[in-house]
Amino acid sequence: MDDLIADFVSECRDMLESLGGEIVAWEAQPQDRARLDSIFRFVHTVKGNCGFFDFPRLEALSHAAEDALADVRAGRRQPDPALVSAVLAVIDRIGEMVEVIAAGQPLPDGSDEDLIEALKPGAEQPAQPAQPAPAANPVANAFASGAAPRTIRLSVDLLDRMMSGVSDLVLARNELARRLRDGNADVAVAGAFERMSGIIAEMRDAITRTRMQRIESLFVGLPRMVRDLSAELGRQVLVDIDGGDVELDREMIEMIRDPLTHIVRNAVDHGIEPPAERLKAGKREIGLLSVSARQSGNQILIDIVDDGRGIDGKKLVAKALDVGIIESADAARLSSREQLNLIFEAGLSTAREVTSISGRGVGMDVVRSNVERIGGLVEVESKVGQGTRITVRVPLTLTIIPALTVSIGNQHFAIPRVAIEEIVRAGGEAVELSHVGGAGIVTIRGRRVPEIVLADVLGLDSPLTEEERTLIVLKPAGGDVYALAVDRVHDHEELVVKPAAPAVMATGLYAGTTLADDGSPILLFDPAGLARVGGVKIETQERSVRLLDEAAPAKAEEATPVLLFRDRLGNRRAIRLGIVDRIEEVPGSAISMAAGRIRVQLGQDILPLAGIDVPPEAHEKVRLFRLSDGDVQLGLAFREVIDLDAIAENVIPADVPGPVEGVTLVAGEPAELVDAHWLFATEGQGAAALDTPPVCRLDLADPWVRNMLRPIVEAAGYRVVPSDSEVAADLAIAWAGTEGAAAKRTLWLSPEPDAPANENHIYRYDRAGLLVALRDAAARGAKA
């Protein structure tokens, strides 16, 4: 009996979910007799099953609905909105009772006479439509189809075990392929392997299909939801759904159900106007909401399009300014696309009032984060007065994905192939590497993008120089581009992705774990998470690069790059970029009055601090520029950085000497230019002197010295100069048996590991000995 009840519950869930969409569609086309017959048969089947299991309340409700629909079929009654609402309310009550039965609990006592009375002719339409009951694991049914396909119910756990077995087969195939490549297998073996690979691929596809569902199960409840929302908001909305036959992994369907629901609710609430407002705007009073799905490669694209009022980017910017999400200087430079993307910022809502549907400032940021968590993407397009299109892109499945393996040193990682735009060599002719404000910028064929060095993010040692690395241009979920610098790029292959440990996922860097073809574990990067951890803010990256590009023409005309900022009093000022070492943020407790002036402690250094007259409160955060003239350093406090720009030195000088050199135009508006010479002349007395690094002389014409030795020497704190330089050197490193170069001390390298070794003669790959010698030479130079 338990098995029969379980089948009954499952069948009812399937049918009841389908009923909601069918009845709304039937209301729109009452003459569709085939749909009416399908609804009647479903209700009749539910009634018969309820009688068999002795559920009298369910039987009475379904019987009443069946009688009302029978009158419509016989032509004795017309399907008006009151009847449709009453039938929907009955179906909701049946759904609630089915869920109680599924939980193993007895049906509660009570009466359903109010719902049965509402089914009778002349009954008043309920003031508030009933909300649909949640359904678990819904499965779509085709109503107008002919013979039903043969089906069988399987446990989800069994499907997962089957997929796990296929995943192991894929890994075994990859390993066998690697061994055959390494072993130079004969033609017969290679042919047999190819046949086996084809069989495994077909098996994988077939079993993957068992996890797939028609996306119709995601769409089927939307017409009912839109109908209820329209009635509550006093609007008229026609829903057009297309692409229900597209199939998607069942887990993916459940993951995007809530984001899709929120987007549709927003479209009805914020997008489509009330009938009177639409007529005044020259539109028809019935709004159109289109939801469609299509497959593109290994992605599913879901479009939600309305013909409503659209999204006003300027209002979004104004709201963002009010809540402090962006600064006024940045707001003026936002492109239309960047303005629309503000809807994804947390805490931003343009709703005129808070309702039960929307307007609390939460939602679209959660929608995007949920979609990105599964490797998807949310895009928005809108025109004021014409409507909005929101596109949700999600991967077809999360189990087996094509990926590229890369490495840092001897550590291997994987990157989803779908996020890769191109792969270039950092030292190539079309690539230019530069640094702005301590951040790396890569120019590839004139296109400027931020750079993330993977070794720095992960804290791993890399034996390669900046020019020897490989750059992978990534476009992650979020839409913008950056370049990832890695040591080596390896194979493209299909990898089986499984969830990683919670502690690993908490880093925000990874999307899961996988196994290489030799069975070793590999972590799969999340490109968007890697950008966040690496310091590339996806929402502002495109704007930052555009600002750099705007400054480029001025630089080509020998213009001076400057940082535009506001000082502590709000004045618009600029400072030459060449003297800015970096930007710091310190607590107020690190700033104090000492020896007659304001000073700030930065690590082990105590610097004079300009731009501030009174030490701040201990809990206050203070931002400052760390300025350097090459010998000493000092700090300059400020409120905020506005932009990076350039000036052509057409400065109107100040009347008297002081912290302001003069005034000039920056980004089309006047700004005061900081007089760095005056600052160092008046504030630099007693400033912290910069440590002068020891100098090492190397034969940089030698490729091994340039590529292998130089990084180690520089990492030890030396400034490297070529062997023919006239700069006095503390240390020279040369090959044993050569003449060497002039220096306070010379270290000889031997190419042979068995050569005699002492403090001045070291085997070239004796890393520990080399580092000891470098530290010893630096210490002797410091004492001298």
Q: What is the pLDDT of residue 559?
A: 66
Q: What is the pLDDT of residue 142?
A: 26
* Lowest pLDDT segment from 159-163, 275-279, 515-519: 515-519
| pTM, 2 dp | 0.43
Over range 189-196, report the average pLDDT: 81
Q: How confident is the model at residue 305 (pLDDT cuts 50, 70, 90)?
A: very high
Q: What is the 3-state secondary structure (H, E, C) of 612-648?
A: CCCCCCCCCEEEEEEEECCCEEEEEEECEEEEEEEEC
Q: What is the pLDDT of residue 545?
A: 43
Task: Express each pLDDT in 44-80 by its tens digit.
Answer: 777 777 666 777 777 788 888 888 888 887 778 877 7
Q: What is the pLDDT of residue 637?
A: 92
Q: Comparing 147 with 185, which gets the higher pLDDT?
A: 185
* Lowest pLDDT segment from 458-472, 491-505, 666-680: 491-505
Task: Express each pLDDT in 419-438 by its tens digit.
Answer: 788 888 888 777 888 776 55
Q: What is the pLDDT of residue 437?
A: 54
Q: What is the pLDDT of residue 95?
A: 80
Helices (H), 30-155: 33-52, 56-73, 81-102, 113-118
Q: How confident is the model at residue 502 (pLDDT cuts 50, 70, 90)?
A: low
Task: Express each pLDDT in 555-564 by its tens digit.
Answer: 334 567 888 8
Q: What is the DSSP letter of 467?
A: G
Mean confidence (pLDDT) of the chain: 76
Task: Express each pLDDT in 706-755 by its tens digit.
Answer: 777 887 887 777 888 888 887 888 888 888 877 766 777 888 888 877 76
Instruction: Please state, in angstroms and rounded to a whole number, the distance separating the CA atoms of residues 197 and 453.
Output: 37
Task: Express each pLDDT in 520-539 by its tens digit.
Answer: 778 888 887 787 777 664 44
CA 127 → CA 19, 84, 185, 232, 338, distances in Å?
Answer: 22, 13, 77, 9, 42
Q: Comparing 535 with 772, which gets the higher pLDDT?
A: 772
Q: How confident is the model at residue 581 (pLDDT cuts 50, 70, 90)?
A: confident
Instruction: Please state, in angstroms and rounded to a whole number, the distance separating the CA atoms of residues 311 and 318.
Output: 13
Q: What is the DSSP letter of 559?
A: P
Q: 387-395 and 488-496 as β-strands: parallel, antiparallel, unpaired?
A: unpaired
Asked whether the predicted pLDDT for residue 548 surpasses 70, the reply is no
Asked whether the predicted pLDDT for residue 117 surpasses 80, the reply is yes
CA atoms within 13 A on the CB side of 625: 30
Q: What is the pLDDT of residue 128?
A: 43
Q: CA 652: distance to chain centroid?
A: 46
Over range 175-196, report the average pLDDT: 76
Asked whether the predicted pLDDT for residue 691 surpasses 70, the reply is no
Instruction: Please state, in angstroms and rounded to a whole number, the distance separating the CA atoms of residues 378 and 356.
Output: 24
Q: Are 633 and 605 in contact (CB under 8 A)?
A: yes
Instruction: Please state, in angstroms and rounded to a whole number, the distance separating the CA atoms of residues 498 and 167.
Output: 10
DSSP assignments along 131-173, one per residue? PPPP-SS-----SS-SSPPP-----HHHHHHHHHHHHHHHHHH
* CA torsion, ordered 412, 415, 417, 422, to nearest 10 deg: -90
Q: Which two tokens stand for residue 729?
A: 């050197």
Asked whether the predicted pLDDT for residue 695 surpasses 70, the reply is yes
Over range 176-186, report the average pLDDT: 73
Over range 330-338, report the average pLDDT: 78
CA atoms within 13 A on the CB side of 449: 23
Q: How confident is the model at residue 135 (pLDDT cuts 50, 70, 90)?
A: very low
